[in-house]
Amino acid sequence: MNDPTGTLFSTLTARGGRMIVFRGNADPVFSADDLRAHWRDLAADSGGSAALSGWARLFLVPGMTHCGGGPALDDFDPLTAIEAWVERGEAPPHLLARGAAFPGRSRPACPYPQEARFGGGDPEAAESFSCATPVP
């Protein structure tokens, strides 16, 4: 695809394709706000958010800059997640994120528009959080 704003992925979806996109929310090169707007357009052209989440997930990583780094939990494994999705039909409910900036801390990186919400327990452990859609 050569169109950076294209939202028609019918060939990909017709072939059972899956897509995981991740971006640093603090990326100084590309705007996370622009990506969120594009994702909303993609959802609209794909039959809605529920239909889109059947084949694509967007993960915005708080504090992560361009391609990693920054004060973030930027160590996660999208390759294993997409492999499980394509080969076994297991869509990623989140990505487990860790990072050198916060030793000993883990969080679920949640698919947009969801965010990690603390539910009690160890505030440093991913298991103490769940992914939830923010209330406007």
Q: What is the pTM of this model?
A: 0.92
Q: What percent of the chain has pLDDT over 90?
A: 88
Question: Which residues lie across from 131 on neighbouring strands?
Answer: 116
Is the pLDDT at 103 greater than 90, yes or no?
A: yes
Kindly list the distances between the CA atom of residue 2 and the CA atoms of 6, 33, 100, 116, in Å, as whole numbers in the listed order: 8, 21, 35, 33
* Model confidence pLDDT, tens digit, residues 27-71: 999 999 999 999 999 999 999 999 999 999 999 999 999 988 899
Dist CA 117 CA 88 (whole Å): 28
Q: What is the pLDDT of residue 85?
A: 97
